[in-house]
Amino acid sequence: MGTLDKLQTFIILFAVGLGLLLGQADTIEQYAETFVTPSLFLMLYGLFIKIPLQQLKRTFLNIKFLGSSIIINFIWTPLLAWGLGAVFLSDYPALWIGFIMLMVTPCTDWYLAFTGIAKGNIPLSTSVLPINLILQVVLLPVYLLLFAGTIETIPISTLIESILIVLVIPFALAHLTRFLLRRRTSVLNNKIIPFFANAQIFFLSLAIMAMFASQGSYLLENLEVIYILIIPILMFFVINYVVGRLVGRFLKFSYEDSVSLSMTIIARNSPVSLAIAVTAFPDQPLIALALVIGPLIELPVLAIVSQILLFTRKKSKK
C-alpha cells in the first residue's frame, strides 16, 4: 500500500473534523454543498479511468470464481444487508438506506492492497474488477428501488439524474479518454492514471469535508448513529467472512483464490454509494453519514481479516 492508502482512514477523519469546524461559519455552511458533486465527479472519473474494460475477457477465464463472487456480491449480500437493517435499523430509515447502499457495492480499489497483504491471487482479484464495477453501476438503482423504496419513497427522476451525473457521465468520459489516448498509452499510464490515483483521496476528502460543512450542525446533534451502526456493520463483515471461507472450501479453491474471494465479498465501495447519496438525498445527511462511517470501521476490519487469513495459511502448512 502506498502512503496515501495507509493514511486514508486518518485523512477521511481529518476531512470530517475540518468540515464540521468550517461548518460553524454561516457563509461556509451555506455554500459548501456546491463543492460536493464536482468533487465526487472527478473522483469517480479517476476511479473509472484506472480500469480497462479489456479485462472483461480475463474475468470469464475462471467461471467458478466469477460465478461465486457474483452470486455472493449481487444476490446474497443485498439480502443480508436488508435483513441486518431490518433487525437493527428499522427505527432509523435514513441509516437503513445508507447501510444498504454501502453494502451492495463491492470495492474496486483498496481491497487489492489487502489481498496482497494476505498473499491472495491479485491477478484473479483484478480480473473481476470491471464486472464488479459495471454490475454495481447497473444494479445500485435497482437495489434502491427494491429495498430503499420500501423504506422511503424515492422519486424516479431524482434517482435517474443522480445516476447520470455521478456514474454514467464520468464512466463514459473515462472510457472515452482511454479510447482517445489508445495510441498514447505512455501518457495515460504514466501521467493521467497516476495523477488521479493520488488525487482520488483528495477529491473524496473534499466532498466529505464539504458535505459535513454544509450539514455540520445537524450531524453534531446525531453522533449517536456511530453506536447504532457499529453492530450491523461488524456483523456484515463477520458473516461474509464466514460465507467466503465456507464457499472457498466447498469449491476447493486454493488458499490464494480463497483469499481473493473473501476480500472481494467483504470490502465495500463507499465512494460510489456516497456519490449517489449526496445527489439523490441532499436533504438527508444521515444517509451519507452512514456511508462515511462505514469505511472507518471497514479498513481496520480488512487489516484484521488479512492477518487472520495469513494465520490460517501458516497453520495449514504445519
Residue 315 located in a structural domain: no
pLDDT at 255 over 90: yes
- In tens, the pLDDT along 58-92 reads 667 788 999 999 999 999 999 999 999 999 999 98
Residue 292 located in a structural domain: yes
Domain count along the chain: 1
- In tens, the pLDDT along 115-171 reads 888 888 887 887 887 788 788 878 887 888 788 766 665 566 666 776 677 677 888
Instruction: Please tell me the distance from the alpha carbon of residue 309 to that of residue 76, in angstroms, as a whole number.
Output: 22
Using a 10 angstrom Cβ sphere, with 0-12 exposed, 13-18 middle and 19 or more buried, the burial of residue 15 is buried
Residue 165 located in a structural domain: yes
Residue 18 located in a structural domain: no
Residue 65 located in a structural domain: yes
Measured over the CA atoms of residue 37, residue 41, residue 42 and residue 43, the dihedral's sign is: positive
Domain of residue 184 covers 30-310
Residue 230 located in a structural domain: yes
Do 56 and 71 touch, CB atoms closer than 8 A? no
Give me the CATH number covering residue 52: 1.20.1530.20
pLDDT at 188 over 90: no
Identity of the highest mean pLDDT range in 139-143, 178-182, 245-249, 275-279: 245-249
Mean pLDDT of all residues belonging to the chain: 82
pLDDT at residue number 42: 85
Residue 8 located in a structural domain: no
Residue 6 located in a structural domain: no
